[in-house]
């Protein structure tokens, strides 16, 4: 029998119509898998009166109909699902590649990030595209995936004050995370480049290109290739 990792599951009301399930207080692959398994089970066998689910690094926020449920009752019900998590088989992760044109006006923070780490922009690009990232969850805006973890040498604090406008497709880093902005939004992540790929589109079945649990690699492309793919 494999050794079981002991992670204390904690419940906490977030509002009068939502309840947190916390799987520890640390970002770990184990916590991520627990979140995914519970999400998977709750999507496969929905609880009547549960309205929405918000997965994150090591928590799942459950929004419910407050006329049907009280926190304590719902906790009891969710605990039944928790007892079955060990048996949940998660599907094989999908492997995706995202093309990125790094630097220049498409990646306005590349030079500064390189300067901060005292290496060349080329080395930053190499580092960023050298590893496979895990989609921990989607949040913030539609289709925004929190990808981790960055190689140690790339860990960078977010901008001191966020930009009012980050163009759609911008690839940014913050702390030990990286991600792609699906829409033009405000944002405080440091921008290394831009992808011509649409992260969230209404004309396809999976509206969001990425889903929780996917594995992602960034592939550097030239300015010309970026222009070509943008037209496509």
Partner 1 sequence: MSAIEVLAPGLLTTVQDLGREGFGPMGVSTSGAADPVSLRIGNRLVGNAEVAAGLEMTLLGGAFQFHGACVAALTGSDFGATLEGVAVSPWSSFEVELGQTLKLGPTRSGARCYLCVQGGIQTKPFLGSASTHLLSGLGGHEGRALRKGDVLKVGASAGPGRTGTLVYTVRACSPKDMSQLAPRKVLRVTPGPQSEWFPKAAQKAFCANGYRVTEEANRMGLRLDGPPIPGGAHGEMISEGVSLGAIQIAAGGLPIILFVEQQTTGGYAKIANVISADIHSLGQLRPRDEIRFEPVSFATARKLLIEQEKLLASEKLIGET
Closer Cβ to partner 1, 17 or 129, answer by number: 17
How many residues bind partner 1, per CB under 8 A?
Answer: 48
Nearest approach in angstroms of CB 205 to partner 1 is 12
Per CB under 8 A, 219 contacts partner 1: no
- The dihedral over CA atoms of 111, 112, 117, 120, expressed in degrees to the nearest 10, equals 10
HSE of 181, CA atoms in CB hemisphere, 13 A: 25
Residues within window 72-131 making contact with partner 1, judged by CB under 8 A: none
**Nearest alpha-carbon partner for 140 in 203, 54, 217, 198:** 54
Residues within window 135-174 making contact with partner 1, judged by CB under 8 A: 137-144, 146
Per CB under 8 A, 70 contacts partner 1: yes
Per CB under 8 A, 189 contacts partner 1: no
Sign of torsion over alpha carbons 136, 84, 41, 69: negative
Residues that bind partner 1 (CB under 8 A): 12-18, 20, 25-27, 39, 43, 51-61, 63, 66-67, 70-71, 137-144, 146, 175, 182-183, 185, 200, 202, 207-208, 211-212
């Amino acid at each position: 029998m494999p050794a079981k990792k002991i992670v204390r599951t904690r419940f906490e009301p977030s509002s009068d119509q939502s309840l947190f399930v916390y799987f520890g207080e640390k970002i770990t692959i184990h916590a991520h898998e627990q979140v995914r398994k519970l999400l998977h089970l709750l999507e496969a066998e929905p609880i009547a009166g549960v309205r929405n689910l918000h997965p994150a690094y090591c928590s799942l926020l459950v929004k419910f109909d407050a006329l049907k449920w009280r926190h304590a009752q719902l906790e009891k019900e969710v605990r039944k699902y928790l007892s079955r998590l060990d048996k949940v088989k998660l599907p094989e992760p999908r492997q995706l590649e995202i093309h990125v044109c790094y630097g220049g006006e498409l990646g306005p923070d590349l030079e500064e990030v390189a300067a901060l780490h005292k290496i060349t922009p080329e080395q930053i690009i190499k580092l960023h595209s050298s590893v496979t990232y895990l989609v921990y969850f989607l949040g913030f805006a539609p289709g925004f995936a929190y990808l981790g973890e960055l190689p140690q040498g790339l860990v960078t604090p977010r901008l001191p004050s966020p930009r009012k406008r980050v163009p759609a497709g911008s690839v940014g880093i913050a702390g030990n995370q990286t991600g792609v902005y699906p829409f033009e939004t405000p944002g405080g992540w440091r921008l290394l480049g831009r992808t011509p790929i649409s992260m969230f589109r209404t004309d396809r079945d999976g509206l969001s290109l990425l889903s929780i649990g996917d594995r992602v690699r960034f592939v550097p492309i030239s300015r010309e290739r970026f222009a070509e793919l943008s037209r496509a």
